[in-house]
Structure 1
Amino acid sequence: MSMPAAAATSAGVPLIERTKLFGNPSKTQGRLSPDGKWLSWIAPRDGVLNIWVAPAADPAKARPLTAETQRPIRQHFWAPDSSQILFINDKGGDENFLLYGVNVTTGVETLLTPFEKTRAEIVGISNHVKDRILVGLNNRDPRWHDVHSLDLKTGKLSLVQRNDGYAGYTADDALTLRIAAKATPDGGQQFFRMANGQVEAEPFATIGLDDALTTGPLGFTADNKTLYWVDSRGRDTAALVAQDVASGRTSILAEDGKADIGTILADPKTGRVQAYSVEYLRNEWKLIDPAVKGDLAYLKAELKGEINVTSRTDADDEWIVTVDPVTAPAATYLYDRKAKRVTRLFVGRPELEGAPLVAMHPLEIRARDGLTLTSYLSLPAGTDPDGDGKPGAPVPMVLFVHGGPWARDSYGYHSYHQWLANRGYAVLSVNYRGSTGFGKKFISAGDLQWGTRMHDDLIDAVDWAVKGGITARDKVAIMGGSYGGYATLAGVTFTPDAFRCGVDIVGPSNLFTLLQTIPPYWEAGKQQFYKRMGDPTTEEGRALLKERSPLFKADAIKVPLLIGQGANDPRVNVRESDQIVKAMEARKIPVTYILFPDEGHGFARPVNNIAFNAVTENFLKPCLGGRAEPIGDALKGSTAQVPAGAQFAPGLSEALSIK
């Protein structure tokens, strides 16, 4: 079937270079120091993302604070006393995150958790305790994180709590551990009060599997009189609940019938919740404390797009605010509360200003059993002149499936949506059952449904797009990472006629071996995996896992398949991709396999991500009839290896010869 609309549109729309979409941002993750004297952000230094700092009064005097040369720094935060910036990073994607500190004045960098095969986790940071934080370390037992107090001036670690089987701890504003959480055999959790380092014998709260992903403590107010929860007990969606610590009484502060309570804004001085977000189709901020009513109203009026407050000073006189307009690159602003004035600090990707970015359409799709699937559709520029979310004629489509599966797609700028739409494809992302954010019933509807009802939701979404004139049945590809990679493999094996081709990024092919190789520090969540996926310790569970594993249906594959994998992936072991490639090769079924020896669960280094996406768009072009920027020398700076099938991906063999 010809696609005249896509071809005509592509001819008049400039091609957005891959490097502009997937290269390093110019600047990202702006932060204010707690004392308000410094600004920090992440930006390239010699081509690698590093931390930069500048006086808040003069951002032009910025200087790089770190000097990473390989692994990009992707997140950072300020020490409570504003003397140093802290960040975590791993090696080669192994997710053994170590904690580093960099003195803002001297630039001296210190490895604060100097341990091998250890994953550091932040347990507690206080706005009022300035000289230390709480850090969890699994260097004694890889399954459990012992809690240590880290002296920020000396770097000394002092054991606070040995952990012999607890999923995690909640500290108060004085950095005293107050709650311990423990997994239960049914996949739920028990919560225990703590005093003087001792865990009480009996839990004060117990939740089952159905509430396990939608209920938990958020934290205490500064006076320790109130404990906040997100809580779905006795209801479907997670509410914001305040519990009086002395009496145990609870009161509902906020709830929504369609979506869980999302993020909160809390007063940095008192810890009291001032506003909260609810995200169904789009994110909405709602007030609790009138003290910030004028601020949120001003920001909403002044900044057009999706707004988030990402940083606040201790004095609460200045905020860092980001705005995502979707059809333009996101920008970061400094907001002066007293003057009611915003100053633009930077645009994350200025090279995308003026680029033909497209709108994202939030929508509801009905599954075959009546479940509502919140979804997002992007269309190629020029195909939807009246802006109603439907092209004038059907266009090829990529079904882009989110990972998790206990995560969700959201409204906003999405680099893959923009990239694929620019190449001439409609892009549809579906919150299939099991996705989070829509209440516990929606999550539980995905229990034991990998490859069956969860996959039916994706097929139902494709059917909706075909019936609605978005696309044609023989012009749909499936693509995704992690669970989205699994969905891709399920798509080309369990429903071999539904898709023209597939792109699997770090997706599991054998659910039994996936569960065998999950990281040891996921021990506390293991029973939840078993209850929601299939139990490998029982005969019935093993049979279910085998039935839902695409590996054992590899002989059904009859469309082109591209696989990308990080060799150091701790979540989806490299064996998951190796197995299905081997099975396909044994049956002489074409497959292209790209392996990155310095990556883990996804491709953190832009040079590797760009290399894989260069192959992907040239792989999709003959499959769907869109367009592509030639691979050229995109592989040259990457670590890409091609263990199988270079000949099946257009231009790949030539690109390898250049590399």
Structure 2
Amino acid sequence: MKTLRVTALLIFLLPTFQAWAQAPESLIPRKVLFGNPERSSPEISPDGRTLGYLAPEQGVLNVWVRTLGKTDDRVITHDRKRGIRNFSWQYDSKNVLYTQDQDGDENWRVYQTNVASTQTKDLTPFAKVRADIVALEPSHPDSILIQLNKRDAKLFDVYRVNLNTGQLALDTENPGDVLSWQADHDLQVRAAQVTTPDGGTLIRVRNNAKSSWRELMKWGPEETLGVIVDFSPDNHALWVITSLEANAARLLAVDLATGKRTVVAQDPQFDVSFLVTQPRTHKLEAVVFLRERRDFQILDPALKADYEALKKLRDADISNISRDLADDRWVVTFEGDDAPIYYYLYERGAKKASVLFSSRPDLEKYTLAKVRPIEYTARDGMLIYGYLTSPAGVDARNLPLVVLPHGGPWGRDAWGYDPYAQWLANRGYAVLQPNFRASTGYGKKYLNAGDRQWAGAMHTDLLDGEEWAVKQGVADRTKICIMGGSYGGYATLAALAFSPDAFSCGVDIVGPSNLNTLLKTIPPYWSTFVAIFHRRMGEDEEFLKSQSPLFKAEQIKAPLLIGQGANDPRVNKAESDQIVAAMRKNHKPVQYYVFPDEGHGFARPQNRMAFNAASEEFLAKYLGGRFEPPSEAERKLLESIKQ
């Protein structure tokens, strides 16, 4: 699919609540949930002969390969620090490409590893420069396009890289306002997306690399966060996802010569989320909507039989399909709610599939919780969607509750396996994941209802979800905590500061506390869409101050746990420092851990497991759930980084 997304320790229970008289499920060790997967993210080589995947080597995720039909698995990369989190095949099937940063600074470099020799080459060896892959094309297997902010830290220019020699040459210079680039199927940059000063979007195109740019279409700031997806197979039209002239974002084919817009796929409520295209011809075969679950709208009848065959394999959603160029072999990813992620090899001609592996086989011996789509009515009458996960093996009645808002905030939670929801449910908590207003995927009315509402209606949507869970009989009103990362961390701070009696405790991971300082310290390369922040968050300093938990820190009553990466380029460490200082000045209870080798979140498993050890011990203290005590190594790490 081309989508344009240690031995278990002694366990003990704190005095808990009535539900656990029903013989709770076994405690799942943190390592099983949050350690490295055994194998994950498989991708088939373009020639269909080799499987690449991620797996640990010496405790660090690296790229491995296996000849399909054999068991000759071997590691080809040798990262020793953060681990590799994504890779792709070159179209020659002889090399793989991956990106890596330094301690979470998000200044990615692009690396090339030869499968036969295992030699790795840094294609973008530039300090304090971010590199992203813009395009690969099967008809041009010896080149790729990348973008670098080397000339100007605020702007990305496009460079062409010769994959045989490593030679890099400037291809397209950013005129000063381009947010993103799109290449056609001849690997020519012919479309650019620009954020206008009011937060709207402008699409520019050109006939070829020597032609001048011209405006193709534009839309205002009230539309969804639209995007250029791809060129049509003949390069004569542009596929664009936008809510222009509709509520939900539709897929449009926009003729490059005339500007005529043709609706290809749409839904009145849900945005088009992904496209499925044929790997060599680029023919559009399906679109995906994220409803309660993933829903494929098949556009090419030739794909229907394959999709029907795949649906019968598991009660799970298809989240990725990696295909060889002959389109004979597919590697299909299935994500269910109560099982690890499974990967299948599908032989298209025979319509037969076989299991390759699951991401976490150690998890299969445990009973996981089911995830239930829910909806509730906010205080202003707006219908809010989300998901509820309750502990397996017990009645979902009068449980302690963790409200788990997602990050973004322009994103959403979806049905499927979520290690955090499963972890919390296994510890005895009901878990509510509200897709509060401003979440994406539900159309522009839903998105726009969150404009300038970070501490307003977006905040009260969480309170209304909490109240819904209590009235449903699921949650014990006296035992409710809020926990989240990034925007979810902000939501945690806001909940405790603006509604100090609503929650028993809070866990904030890399959340901003002051919206003014947040916007002043964002990465320089976000300058091309800062107008969207101003539109969605607000621009006036006094208004942003009124939405900032830092200035209501004296109202916080509930205990707070904070985790922060020292190198976070999005939410600067100072965001956590200042709320911690304010709380301590007011003699408020706060625990604070700063990881010196992390950025916006915790990529290294040992850091992730250590903070989660602190989190579950913290939650158990205030909500009464179960917890796995920290290991000696985790305790030492936490002691060394405690602020």
> 1:576 and 1:445 mapped to 2: Cα distance?
26
Corresponding residue for 1:340? 351
Corresponding residue for 1:171? 183
**Aligned positions, number:** 628
Of 239, 246, 251, 2:250 maps to: 239
Of 294, 297, 313, 1:286 maps to: 297
Matches within 5 A, 1:301-312: 301-312=312-323
Per-residue Cα deviation, 1:524-544 (whole angstroms, up to 9, x for no partner): 111111111121xxxxx1001
Corresponding residue for 1:42? 54
Counterpart of 1:332, as a letter, is Y
Contact kept? 1:6, 1:626, Cα under 8 Å: no
Q: SS of the counterpart of 2:193?
A: strand
Answering whether residue 607 of structure 2 is matched by residue 599 of structure 1, we say no
Counterpart of 1:573, as a letter, is N
Q: SS of the counterpart of 1:524?
A: helix
Deviation at residue 117 of structure 1 after TM alignment: 0.4
> 1:639 and 1:100 mapped to 2: Cα distance?
33
Corresponding residue for 1:366? 377
Deviation at residue 212 of structure 1 after TM alignment: 5.1
Moved more, 183-192 or 36-45: 183-192
Answering whether residue 200 of structure 2 is matched by residue 188 of structure 1, we say yes
Give me the TM-score of the superposition, normalised by structure 2.
Answer: 0.95
Answering whether residue 443 of structure 2 is matched by residue 431 of structure 1, we say no
Corresponding residue for 1:495? 499
Corresponding residue for 1:538? none
Per-residue Cα deviation, 1:492-551 (whole angstroms, up to 9, x for no partner): 11000000000000000011110010000101111111111121xxxxx10011111100
Counterpart of 2:353, as a letter, is V
Contact kept? 2:24, 2:394, Cα under 8 Å: no
> 1:181 and 1:199 mapped to 2: Cα distance?
17
Answering whether residue 482 of structure 2 is matched by residue 478 of structure 1, we say yes
Contact kept? 1:177, 1:195, Cα under 8 Å: no
> 1:205 and 1:246 mapped to 2: Cα distance?
12
Contact kept? 1:22, 1:610, Cα under 8 Å: yes
Answering whether residue 232 of structure 2 is matched by residue 221 of structure 1, we say yes
Contact kept? 1:188, 1:212, Cα under 8 Å: no
> 1:423 and 1:53 mapped to 2: Cα distance?
37
Per-residue Cα deviation, 1:289-337 (whole angstroms, up to 9, x for no partner): 0011100000001233111333111111111101123212111011100
Give me the TM-score of the superposition, normalised by structure 1.
Answer: 0.93
Deviation at residue 575 of structure 1 after TM alignment: 0.2
> 1:507 and 1:485 mapped to 2: Cα distance?
4
Answering whether residue 147 of structure 2 is matched by residue 136 of structure 1, we say yes
> 2:330 and 2:236 mapped to 1: Cα distance?
26
Deviation at residue 226 of structure 1 after TM alignment: 3.2
> 2:94 and 2:332 mapped to 1: Cα distance?
23
Deviation at residue 637 of structure 1 after TM alignment: 7.5
Per-residue Cα deviation, 1:550-603 (whole angstroms, up to 9, x for no partner): 001111111110000000000000000000111111111111001100000000
Per-residue Cα deviation, 1:180-201 (whole angstroms, up to 9, x for no partner): 2222110112111223435746
Counterpart of 1:7, as a letter, is W
Deviation at residue 640 of structure 1 after TM alignment: 6.5
Of 52, 67, 70, 1:55 maps to: 67
Deviation at residue 243 of structure 1 after TM alignment: 2.6
Corresponding residue for 2:268? 257
Structure 1 residues 199 and 621 mapped into 2: Cα distance closer, same or farther (>3 Å)? farther
Contact kept? 1:478, 1:502, Cα under 8 Å: yes
Answering whether residue 551 of structure 2 is matched by residue 552 of structure 1, we say yes
Q: SS of the counterpart of 1:448?
A: coil
Of 92, 99, 110, 2:110 maps to: 99
Q: Percent identity?
A: 46
Deviation at residue 381 of structure 1 after TM alignment: 1.5
Moved more, 77-86 or 201-210: 201-210
> 2:237 and 2:308 mapped to 1: Cα distance?
27
Counterpart of 2:507, as a letter, is V
Contact kept? 2:320, 2:333, Cα under 8 Å: yes
Corresponding residue for 1:585? 584
Moved more, 62-71 or 252-261: 252-261
Q: SS of the counterpart of 2:206?
A: strand
Q: SS of the counterpart of 2:478?
A: coil
> 1:479 and 1:468 mapped to 2: Cα distance?
21
RMSD: 1.5
Answering whether residue 453 of structure 2 is matched by residue 441 of structure 1, we say no
Q: SS of the counterpart of 1:635?
A: helix
* Higher relative contact order structure (alpha carbons within 8 Å, sequence separation ≥ 6): 2
Matches within 5 A, 1:348-497: 348-384=359-395, 391=396, 393-497=397-501
Corresponding residue for 2:131? 120
Counterpart of 1:577, as a letter, is S
Counterpart of 1:350, as a letter, is P
Gaps (5+ residues) in structure 2? 1-14
